[in-house]
Each structure stands twice: as C-alpha cells, then as structure tokens.
Chains A and B, each alone.
Chain A
Amino acid sequence: MTSLASATMPDPVDVTELHKAHPKIRAEDWRSPLVYRLLGARLYRDGLQNLTDSHKTSNAEAIEQSLHLKWQDLRGDFEKCLNTYQEHVLTEFAALGLACILLTERTGLEITEVTRLGEKVDYWLGERELLLEVGGRSECNLDKFCANKADEQLLKNPYGADGYVCVFEYQHVRARLWFYSYGGHQ
C-alpha cells in the first residue's frame, strides 16, 4: 500500500522552503504572497493545494503535470505581507514564488541575478545563461498571456538571450513554464 500511495501521490513541495534553491536572491519574501494566492483568502491557515502546470523545454512538446504544494507556520509573515503590499504586488510576488518552485522542480535552474532593463526587472538564470519573465493574473487565457509575455518582453531583450516565461493564473491554480528561444522559435 505504501509503495502504491507514493507512486500515485508524490511528496508535496514545501512552499515555505522555496527560497532554499535560490540562495542568491531574497526569494523568501515571495512565500507568503504565493500562499495568499493559493489560499484565495486573507485568513491564513496551513494548507495543501494542487497546481496544474505546463512545462516546455526547447524542441519539445509541452507536458501537463501537477504539483502538490504545502505550507505551514507562515502566519506572521503572511499577515505582514498583506498589511504591506497592494494586490498587484502580491500577485507579482506570488508568480515569482511559483516560478522559483517550477524552475527547481521542472528544470533544476536557479535564479541567480536580478537585473534592470528600462522600467522593469528581469531575472537571470544560472550564469547569465537564460532570462526569466514572470507574470501573474487572477483569471486569464494562459496561452495569450504567456505568448504576450514572450513576444513583448522576453524576446525583446537586447542581450540576445533565450529564456523562460512563467505565468500563473491563480483563480484556477494553473501555471505555465515555457522556454522561448531568442530566434523566435519556441
């Protein structure tokens, strides 16, 4: 029974530890916003949530998978965050937190550097190998949202760098982490 259970139900990913795979940035700040979006409520409680995600690497088909996310003991930080940030900031931070998890779980990549380009912030993965573009929305068409992020932002980077777009629709707890090549081909 035990082996069957572990085969069908993988260990949940701990949101409270999402920052550990990204030690060069302050990813711990993004835990509570992500929990807030996963909970869908301003009242904190420890919990567990299923996330449907789509992952696509270069020259590969997108793979639909699911992740079990759990969190605990974040009440203090959670309340502080909600008292500090506006909704759109919380959404952005939640998407960043989720990007950390998906990058770790699906690609093994690490966010290593924050950089600025014009008015916005970008994130480098690895040794400035790839760029990361992140976005979050309450409810959206993930196809359009992801393509828009790729065309309007990621692929307009002047460094000629390939990268990932990570988008999060928290109403339906769905996310996408897709690779885009600078040449314009996914």
Chain B
Amino acid sequence: MTSPGEALRRKNATLLQLEEAKALGDSARIMSLASLAAKLELELAESHGDAGRREDAAVNLVSAASCFIDCGQTDEAFQAYRRAFSITSKPQLKSWLQTALSQLDGSRHDNPKTAARRAPRSGLPVFTRSSVMQLLRDPTSSGWRQLYDMCRNELLPKLTRTQRDFHTAQDIFHEAMEDFRREFDPVRGQETEPDADIRRLVISFIQARAQKKAVRLHVTGSSTAPDSVAASIASYPVSAIALSQMVRRWDRLPLSWESQRRIAVSIVDHFGSQLIADETKAFQDFRERLLELAVGWLESHFREQHRRYRPASLSIAVASLVLGLPGRDIARRFDCKRSTVYAITSRLRKFVAELPLEALARKALASSLPLPLDPDLESIVERLEANARRFRREAERAIDNVDVVNQAACNTLLEEVMSLHREHIDALRQARLIHAHQVLKQIQEAMHQLQSRLVALGARMPGLDDS
C-alpha cells in the first residue's frame, strides 16, 4: 500500500482527471479513473480508520462510493456507503447516507443486471447464467457483440477487484466458448461473424488476466478464420497465470491442431527455458499439455514412417525429447528398454528437424537437459572412467619416483590430463560427440607430454592404450 500522503496526491490527481474525462465524455477513461480513484479513497479510508480518525474515514468512503457509482459498481458503492454509515457519528451525515443508501438500493433493484449481481455470492453468480446465456441464445449475431460489450465494459474492469469476479468472467468466457463450438460449426461456415468477436473476447480475457486490469483493446486485422484466434493469442504476451487458465481449458477452445501448435510454439518462444525449469503448477500443466500435443503431432506423422515402434514407446521418446527428461528416468518410469527410447529418440530428433517445429524443438533442445544415452556408449564411458582411475594411480606412482624438483611439473601435467578426461566424459554423456572427439585428441597430446617427461626423468610411465 502507498503512503497516505502519496495516496492523497494520487487520489487528488485521479479525481481531477476523472472530472476531465467526464467533461470530455470519455467513457473508457471514466471507468478506469473512477475505479482507480475509488481504490485510492478506500486506501485513505483504511489509513484514517487505522489512526482512529473515523469521521475522516467516513468522508473517504463517501467519496469512494461516488466513484464506484461512476464506474457502475453499485454493489461496491452500496457497501462503501454502508461502512461510512456504520462508522460516522455525525447525525447529518448519517441522515444523508440513509437517503443515499435507499436511492442506491432502489436503483439496484430496478436494474436487472445489477439485481442479478446482488445474488448470493456462493457458487456462480446469476449474472453469468442468466444474462449471458440469454445473449448467447440470441439468434442474431449481434448477441455476440452484446456479449463482448458486456464483458468488456462491465465485467473485465472487475477483474482487478476480487478473485470471485474473475471466476465470473472466466465462466462467462468458457460458456461463450462452448456455445461457440456448439453453435458455430466451422463445417457449416457460420463462424465468420461471431469469430471476430470471440477473437477479441479471447484476447481481452487473456490480457485482462495477465495484466489484472481492464484493458482497452486494439485488435488489428480483419481475418476471421478459426486460426486467427490462435494468431491473435500468440501476438500477446501471456502471463504464467493466463497460461495456466488457457491450458486447463484448452479443449474448450475451438482450435485446430495446427492452431494449438502455433499457440504452444508462441508460448514456448515467450517463456523459453523457464518452461522446462519452472515447477509451478501453471508450467507443469503446460508441459503436460505440450507433451500431449507433441505426441499427437509426431505420432500422426511418425507412425506412418516408422510403423514398427509401439505408440507407447513413441510417446516415451517424445516425452524425453520435449521435456528433456533423461532416458534412464523415462525408461525406469515407463518400464521400457533404454535402448528402445534411445533408438526412437535419435530418429525423432532427425524427424523433428524436418517438421515445422523449429521454435519448439530449439527451445526444448536449448534447455540441454541430458539426452538419453546409448547403452553402448554408456558402457564405454564406464570403461573410460575405470581406466582413468587406473591411469591416475600409475602416474602418481611414477611421479613419486622422480626428484622433488620435477614432481610439481609432472603433477601439473597429470592434472591437465585428468581435467581433459572429465571434460571428455561430460561431452560423451551429453552426446556432444564432435566435442568429445576434439577433447580426446587433447587428452592424447597431454598424456604424450607426461609420458615424454617421465621417460626423460627415468620413471616408469602408464600406458596410453587404455584411453
């Protein structure tokens, strides 16, 4: 919370801006400024209340209520007036508030929209079910326009206020989506008109959720093809929370596989390696969904070309590729042979390179989590490590036999060999075979140097063959 002085300055400025907006008739600005001013007034009221200045708090509550009325939030205005009524001890203010409360209550009863909003707060508000579905049942396409206007003007500004209001908006949105899918079958070619609004609705939903405030939308383009929904979503930055909401309700969106893929790719592009590393629920959900999608995309293509692999093995391989899980973990988890996972994964890697999945694959691979290791290669690594240990023992024994003056230089050479050896093993484990090969050459050179030095000093040297 801001300091009272700062809140007062901001509130003064906001109220004056609100007056300007009212004078200019700028309804969008009036809504947002009135909402902000009300919030600041409530902060000030709270601050006065904390300091025991009850009458001052009442003044701010009255002002907050006026602002709430300006932005159509009559429930909140009613509550603010009621709070002011309960804390003031001035008879004239009590009397004034009584009148204001009865007038406001009357207007709330007269207005069907606000009457619905006075419904019990448990469960889904009546506002969602009745008025929205009524609009959706409107046989003319203007129902969609009304729905959009209603969500934008009356509901989305409320997203800033409470979680409950957000659920209301969310419910409206998803009902709209379901209705859209049911009523406007693309096969029948009727999606053109409503899609434009749905597209905006989707964007406004996500953007409002992401920014946690009502937004003025600037939707460009006039394409109304179903995929334009995906394109529009993809063009907006998505927050983790919006991502979570999006993914959970993914199936309700009337999106083609290709649209889903495009959304997924845009999300991967946006979040990058955070997608792999972040353990929050939103990202876990997304990874699971991504996996399903990847399996769907890849199976459909891959199975055609590689029919001999079981779908389960294929899914596991995709999981290891997309999620970057180590092959041994996947094999253990799914009780399947590591060699199978490796074989499929290596083919998948080649296959993915040919699919239009560059961004997805690049991100997944860029996170460079360990890839499944070829069982043959793994046994080689184990042998190499054993040999390295033996090499060190023999080298140390040989160095012990040279004079003290030359021991330091020999030890340095030995450490260099061992360091290169570790780098070599790491490169092999990460399947960076070209790098591993380059390091191996350096190992050979370093060992040769050590060998020459030890020979010159008359000491016994370890053999090079073991490498």
Contacts and interface: CB of A to CB of B under 8 A. Distances in A.
A128 B15 contact: no
What class of interface size applies to chain A in its complex with B?
Answer: 20 to 34
B93 to A, nearest CB: 4
Nearest to A25: B12
Contact of B15 (A86, A115, A118, A159): A115
A90 to B, nearest CB: 9
A121 B12 CA distance: 11
Interface string B236-279: 00000000000000000000000000000000000000000000
B12 A84 contact: no
A159 B11 contact: no
A159 B90 contact: yes
A159 B416 CA distance: 85
B63 A116 contact: yes
A88 B66 CA distance: 22
Contact of A118 (B9, B60, B66, B90): B66
A114 B93 contact: no
Interface stretch (B16-24, B169-177, B379-387): B16-24
Interface in A73-88: 84-86, 88
A89 B23 contact: yes
Contact of A86 (B13, B23, B59, B93): B23
B19 to A, nearest CB: 6
A24 interface: yes
B343 interface: no
Nearest to B62: A117
Interface in B87-103: 90, 92-93, 95-97, 100
Interface in B33-59: 37, 55-56, 59
Q: Which of B16, B24, B95 has the most CB of A within 10 A?
A: B16
Interface residues of B, number: 28
A114 B23 contact: no
Contacts of B11: 113-114
A158 B97 contact: yes
Interface in A15-44: 24-26, 29
Contacts of A88: 23
A158 B13 contact: no
A113 B13 CA distance: 9
A92 B22 CA distance: 13
B12 A26 contact: yes
A118 B37 CA distance: 14
A126 interface: no
A116 B20 CA distance: 14
Contacts of B96: 158
A132 to B, nearest CB: 13
A108 interface: no
A117 B95 contact: no
Contacts of A47: none
B62 A114 contact: no
Contacts of B90: 158-160
A160 B12 CA distance: 22
B71 to A, nearest CB: 12
A93 to B, nearest CB: 9
Interface of B: 8-9, 11-13, 15-17, 19-20, 23-24, 37, 55-56, 59-60, 62-63, 66-67, 90, 92-93, 95-97, 100
22 contacts: A24-B9, A25-B16, A26-B12, A26-B17, A29-B16, A84-B24, A85-B23, A85-B24, A86-B23, A114-B11, A114-B16, A115-B60, A115-B63, A116-B15, A117-B63, A118-B100, A128-B56, A158-B92, A158-B96, A158-B97, A159-B55, A160-B92
